[in-house]
Amino acid sequence: MNDYTPYVAAVYVLAIAIFGGYTFRWRASWKKLQKQLDDHEQGIP
C-alpha cells in the first residue's frame, strides 16, 4: 500500500492555515476597529 502521509499532512496543515489564518485575521481586525470606535465614543482622536 502506498504511503499517503505527506498528502494527508499537507491537507490538514492547509486547513489549519486557511481557516485558522482567516479567523485570526478577521478577529484581530475587528478588535482594532472596535478599539477605534470606543476611542471615538470617548472623544479620543
- Which spans of this chain sit near other proteins (rule: CB under 8 A)? 1-5, 7-8, 10-12, 14-15, 18-19, 22-23, 26-27, 29-30, 33-34, 36-37, 40
CB of 12 to other proteins, least distance (A): 7
Return the C-alpha cell found at 44.
479620543
CB of 2 to other proteins, least distance (A): 6
Helices (H), 1-45: 5-15, 21-41
CB of 3 to other proteins, least distance (A): 7
Return the C-alpha cell found at 1.
500500500
